[in-house]
Amino acid sequence: MHGASMRWEMPDVDAETVNRLAREVGVPRLVAEVLVRRGYDDQVGAATFLHPSLGALHDPRLLPDYDAAVSCLLSAKEQGKRVFVHGDYDVDGVTSAALLYRFLKGRGFEVDVFVPHRMKQGFGIHSDSVDAARELGAGLFLSCDCGTAAVVQVAKAREYGMDVVVTDHHEVSGDLPPANAVVNPHRADSVYPFSELSGVGVAFKLCAGLSLEMGLPLDRYYNAYLDLAALGTVVDVMPLVGENRIITRFGLPLIKETRKVGLRALIAEYAKTVRGGQLQAISVKDLSFGLGPRLNAAGRVDDASHALQLLITEDASEAHALATRIEEMNRARKAEQDAMIEAAAQRIRDEGLDEGNVIVLLDKSWHPGIVGIVAGKLVEQFRRPCFVGTFDPETGKAKASARTIPAFNLAQAIERHAHLVQGGGHAMAAGISFEFAQLDSFRAEMDAYAATFLSPEDFVPSIRLDAAIEPGELTAPVVHSLEALQPFGMGNPGPHFVARGVTVRELRPTRAEHILQVTIEEPGGKRVNAVTFDQADLLRKVDPGTRLDVVVRAEIDDFRNDGSVKWTIKDFAPVS
């Protein structure tokens, strides 16, 4: 739309389908329209989405190689074999390792647990880790959130006489490793109904199956481990649909009430930074921007083993010390991250890198544990796929983390350029390594590859609208009804609505430059309190009395505490 800062996308829907669904499910028309636009256009699908239950989780026995994995685990317990749990250094990998360790140890297994050092070992299973497992006398090597691509390392573990069970959720490219079991719902031969589980989601489902095999109550298992499963699922930015939605919906309240002393200590440290110094509840936002970054900071600037130990310790004093140390790491991470973002953005502008289709930027002084965050921030700023990394002049090796826009699939792009780089990951986030001497070739080939399918529109941020609201339609009861769509996050964002032909009546500045209070008048005369964080600079230039089309989110105004509805303005355009 002319004048808007984003592309507004709102696919057509059939009005009769919306009205029928509203009647069948018993929800306001606006809620029904949101459901239909998100693909839940029949009574059963909509009701299942609105009322998720743990009983709707899929049978874990459908996971690939489930029987072989369970057989290896039960055999290890029966024969007294040590189990070496190998995770990863991010939150998904740490929560996966913590869940497997706590569950197996609690069931009488002999267990050791390990997560790699980001800088020393890097992503995945390193050969040194296999040697460490052997030295500890492990009979079963159990990976989580990694291992699908570890053909050589798994073969080595088998040569050492270990059974190997891989649990993972990364895309599969090439041959599977020669493990006893590769439990990954992304396998081409998988019949598991939901492929988008996180690494901890796969571990969570495998242990749910193991609980059933061992005759343990499933409800007690869920109560004990949904907190870790939800934490890893949200922070790894998995789509909050299907099983991920169920895990998160039921896991969030259990995080608030968790008995895990390390998680409680982490929450206490985070709570000091929020308004009022305490948390009434735990939200997806708290995980994404509070707890998650703190746990990730350990692996980014120091050693992820600190985060792992925090999640498995039973000692309250140790938990407090670890949470305090992780808080310090997070502050250091943020300071270095901000400096790197500023330097990177300046280089991009100075070197004209934002004129191409893909941005590839390296600096030998940058911290390899932080480049992924920097890449994500640069994508937001320049709307280009970004590869950001560092290199070692002595070895000539370069490593980079990548983040992207929706139209550019990183996993596919890396696979297409296997002659230049090694690595992999997801569609939206990945990591690579390559010879620094190949930098110019990689940059040129990746840019040319992107040019074959990206269009100018792909570089413009878009916002998906869920419905156009009628004047006065966003009432408090309707907003309360919309809360049934939570938890909101990747794959299930909070609904965005367009209100057409509203009039700006008053602009009220606040102490914060990026926040502007606005009084909006709908056609018909009803006035609504609104606020904007993203559009403050642009809205200040709008004269009172101007008619606009606005994109908004709606919520109950807790600050006024009078039950009124407040809009958050995400974008706007003059009425044409």
User: pLDDT digit string (tens) for 40-93?
Assistant: 999 999 999 999 999 999 999 999 999 999 999 999 999 999 999 999 999 999
- Pairing mode, if any, of strands 359-362 and 386-392? parallel
Q: Is residue 315 part of a domain?
A: no
Q: Is residue 396 part of a domain?
A: yes
Given this model, what pLDDT does residue 3 score?
57
Number of domains in the chain: 4
Asked if pLDDT for residue 227 goes beyond 50, the answer is yes
Q: Are residues 66 and 176 in the same domain?
A: yes
The model carries a pTM of 0.92
Average pLDDT over residues 284-298: 96
Given this model, what pLDDT does residue 576 score?
74
Given this model, what pLDDT does residue 245 score?
97
Q: Which CATH number characterizes residue 370's domain? A: 3.10.310.30
Where residue 276 falls among pLDDT bands split at 50, 70, 90?
A: confident
Where residue 2 falls among pLDDT bands split at 50, 70, 90?
A: very low
In which residue are the tokens 């057509």 written? 12
Q: Which amino acid is at 47?
A: A
Asked if pLDDT for residue 511 goes beyond 90, the answer is no
Which range is most confident: 199-208, 414-423, 506-515, 520-529? 199-208
Q: Which residues make beta-bridge pairs with 506?
A: 519
Asked if pLDDT for residue 1 goes beyond 50, the answer is no
Distance CA 72, CA 74 (A): 6
Mean pLDDT of the chain: 94
Given this model, what pLDDT does residue 5 score?
84
Q: Is residue 415 part of a domain?
A: yes
Average pLDDT over residues 426-436: 91
Distance CA 156, CA 162 (A): 9
Asked if pLDDT for residue 395 goes beyond 80, the answer is yes
Distance CA 174, CA 245 (A): 30
Degrees to nearest 5, angle at CA 486 with 483 and 491 = 135
Average pLDDT over residues 368-375: 94
Q: Is residue 556 part of a domain?
A: yes
Distance CA 262, CA 316 (A): 7
Asked if pLDDT for residue 554 goes beyond 70, the answer is yes
Q: Are residues 510 and 399 in the same domain?
A: no
Q: Are residues 472 and 449 in the same domain?
A: no
Degrees to nearest 5, angle at CA 455 with 452 and 460 = 145
Given this model, what pLDDT does residue 566 score?
94
Asked if pLDDT for residue 560 goes beyond 70, the answer is no
- Pairing mode, if any, of strands 462-464 and 497-509? unpaired
Q: Are residues 439 and 473 in the same domain?
A: no
Asked if pLDDT for residue 356 goes beyond 60, the answer is yes
Asked if pLDDT for residue 506 goes beyond 50, the answer is yes
Q: Are residues 73 and 208 in the same domain?
A: yes
Least confident range from 3-7, 285-289, 381-385: namely 3-7
Q: Are residues 363 and 491 in the same domain?
A: no
Given this model, what pLDDT does residue 118 score?
85
**Inter-residue contact 197 to 246 (CB < 8 Å):** no
Distance CA 330, CA 565 (A): 35
Helices assigned H by DSSP within 12-162: 15-25, 29-37, 43-50, 66-79, 91-106, 127-135, 151-159
Q: Are residues 360 and 488 in the same domain?
A: no
Name which of 164, 237, 232, 165 is nearest 204 in CA terms. Answer: 232
Q: Is residue 95 part of a domain?
A: yes
Distance CA 39, CA 42 (A): 9
Give the percent of the chain with pLDDT over 90: 89
Q: Are residues 143 and 74 in the same domain?
A: yes
Q: Which amino acid is at 112?
A: D
Q: Are residues 483 and 562 in the same domain?
A: yes
Q: Is residue 345 part of a domain?
A: no
Q: Are residues 384 and 448 in the same domain?
A: yes
Asked if pLDDT for residue 563 goes beyond 80, the answer is no
Distance CA 213, CA 201 (A): 18
In which residue are the tokens 């685990």 written? 73
Q: Are residues 447 and 406 in the same domain?
A: yes
Point out the domain boundary residue: 216, 240, 272: 216
Helix or strand run (H / E) with residue 518: strand 516-521
Q: Is residue 287 part of a domain?
A: no
Q: Are residues 453 and 467 in the same domain?
A: no
Given this model, what pLDDT does residue 514 score?
84
Q: Which CATH number characterizes residue 207's domain? A: 3.90.1640.30
List phi, psi (to 5°) of 4: -80, 155
SS (H, E, C) 66-84: HHHHHHHHHHHHHHCCEEE
Query: What residue numbers bound the domain in which 25 lies?
Result: 14-51
In which residue are the tokens 């509070």 written? 290
Point out the domain boundary residue: 199, 216, 233: 216
Q: Is residue 173 part of a domain?
A: yes
183: helix, strand or coil: strand
Q: What is the tens place of the pLDDT at every residue in 302-347?
A: 899 999 999 999 999 999 999 999 999 999 999 999 999 999 999 9
Point out the domain boundary residue: 437, 459, 481: 459
Size of the chain in residues: 576
DSSP 489: B
